């Protein structure tokens, strides 16, 4: 369990360097993040895109780039394809979105002949450090799957749990969120939550403890659970929050950031390598934290 991003950063120090390839790297905040990651973390990098613009931005921020790591391309589509090929050739272990459309990058990722899809469901994982919570909050899926059904929710949950295992979490606590903690036919997400709990008990979903449906207050606050007389093994100690749809996850994360002072990292899971993918308007700090997450 990591209390914050500083603890996560400490866990990465001294590990073997990974190489990150940035697709369409002529982007100020992306290059600022890579520059800081070179200084603070043990990483290597490759920059794919317009070499002239990449060099101009690097000079602007004082980033002394080794020209051998720049691979010139003439379009977003070419940048995505070349970056994916570098992953396929084993020259990089992490893919990062630069200044290109998400759809363009994911199209290359999912290409049946030359992509890096693992054949399963791709899902977004947000990780937030909130001053009001005692540990990092993992939230899925607020950025990829719009209205997942039960089968997709199982895959989304397994993507995140597997990723968390690779980070050192032995058995993360999972809350399947809903507006209430009772099962109701009027709220289909509560029915899905109960099914996911049953799968967990039957070992169809392994390596975690799943509870649900859980309202957000019960998930994060033991006192609320006690007041309501709700017995929970995870209340106040939830690591992973599985949301019912993209709107819930998106609003939840942004509310924590803009009103709660949280910091966020994000990535896409389900491909052969983790993908650093945040909004093109994201800050360099958010992109740096996302790089840290994938290490």
Per-residue model confidence as pLDDT tens digits over 46-64: 999 999 999 999 999 999 9
- pLDDT value for 280: 65
Judge if 104 and 137 occupy the same domain: no
Question: Does one domain contain both 145 and 251?
Answer: yes
Whether residue 213 is found in the same domain as residue 152 = yes
In angstroms, rounded to a whole number, what is the distance separating the alpha carbons of residues 223 and 26?
Answer: 49
Distances (CA, A) of 291 to 69, 91, 277: 18, 17, 9
Spatial strand order of the sheet with 70-72 comes to 70-72, 43-49, 18-23, 94-97, 275-276, 263-269, 123-129, 137-140, 240-242, 173-177, 209-214
Q: What is the pTM of this model?
A: 0.92
pLDDT for 13: 78
Number of H helices and E strands in the chain, helices first, is: 11, 11
Q: Domain tally for the chain?
A: 2
Q: Residue 22 sits in a domain of what CATH number?
A: 3.40.50.10950
- Judge if 128 and 235 occupy the same domain: yes
163, pLDDT greater than 90: yes
Higher per-residue confidence, 187 vs 1: 187
Is residue 98 located within the same domain as residue 45? yes
- Let me know whether 206 and 289 are in one domain: no
* Same domain membership, residue 176 and residue 211: yes
Q: Please compute the mean of the pLDDT values over residues 222-240 and round it to a whole number.
A: 91
Q: In this structure, are 82 and 172 located in the same domain? A: no
Give mean pLDDT, residues 176-200. Answer: 95
Question: For residues 63 and 35, what is the distance between their CA atoms, to the nearest angstrom?
Answer: 6
| Confidence (pLDDT) at 123 | 95
Indicate whether 196 and 217 sit together in one domain: yes
Q: What is the pLDDT of residue 162?
A: 95
214-230: average pLDDT? 91
CATH of residue 237's domain is 3.40.718.10
pLDDT of 14 strictly over 90: no
φ/ψ of residue 3, rounded to 5: -75, -35
Q: Is the pLDDT of residue 184 over 70?
A: yes
Q: Is the pLDDT of residue 138 over 80?
A: yes
Whether residues 279 and 218 share a domain: the answer is no
Q: Can you give the residue range of the structural domain that contains 158?
A: 123-264
Q: In whole angstroms, give the CA distance from residue 235 to residue 175.
A: 8
Is pLDDT at 22 greater than 90 in this prediction? yes
Over residues 90-105, mean pLDDT: 93
- Cβ atoms of 23 and 97 within 8 Å: the answer is yes
Cα gap 281→97, rounded to integer Å = 12
Q: How much is the pLDDT for 279? A: 74
Mean pLDDT of the chain: 93
Same-domain status, 113 and 129: no
Identify the pLDDT of residue 183: 93
The pLDDT of 83-87, averaged and rounded, is: 96
- Output the pLDDT for position 229: 87
What percent of the chain clears pLDDT 90, i.e. is strictly above it? Answer: 81
CA atoms of 295 and 287, how far apart (whole Å): 13
Residues 80, 155 share a domain: no
Alpha-carbon span 293 to 286, nearest angstrom = 10
């Amino acid at each position: 369990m990591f209390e914050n991003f500083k603890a996560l950063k400490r866990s990465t120090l001294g590990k073997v360097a990974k190489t990150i390839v940035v697709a369409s790297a002529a982007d100020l905040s992306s290059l600022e993040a890579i520059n800081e990651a070179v200084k603070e973390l043990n990483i290597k990098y490759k920059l794919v895109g317009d070499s002239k613009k990449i060099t101009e931005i690097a000079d602007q921020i004082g980033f002394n780039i080794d020209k051998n790591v720049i691979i010139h391309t003439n379009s977003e589509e070419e940048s995505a394809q070349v970056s994916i090929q570098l992953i396929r050739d084993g020259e990089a272990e992490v893919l990062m979105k630069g200044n290109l459309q998400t759809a363009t990058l994911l199209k290359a990722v999912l290409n049946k002949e030359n992509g890096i899809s693992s054949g399963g469901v791709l899902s977004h994982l947000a990780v937030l450090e909130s001053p009001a919570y005692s540990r990092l909050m993992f939230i899925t899926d607020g950025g990829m799957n719009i209205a997942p059904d039960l089968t997709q929710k199982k895959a989304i949950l397994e993507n995140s749990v597997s990723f968390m295992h690779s980070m050192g979490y032995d058995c993360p606590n999972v809350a399947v969120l809903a507006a209430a903690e009772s099962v109701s036919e009027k709220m289909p997400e509560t029915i899905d939550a109960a099914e996911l709990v049953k799968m967990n008990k039957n070992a169809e979903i392994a390596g975690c403890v799943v509870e649900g449906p859980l309202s957000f207050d019960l998930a994060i606050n033991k006192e609320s659970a006690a007041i309501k007389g709700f017995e929970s093994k995870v209340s106040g100690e939830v690591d992973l929050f599985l949301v019912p749809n993209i709107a819930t996850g998106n609003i939840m994360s942004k509310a924590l950031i803009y009103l709660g002072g949280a910091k966020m990292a994000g990535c896409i899971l389900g491909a052969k390598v983790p993908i650093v993918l945040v909004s093109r308007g994201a800050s360099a700090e958010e992109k740096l934290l996302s790089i840290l997450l994938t290490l």
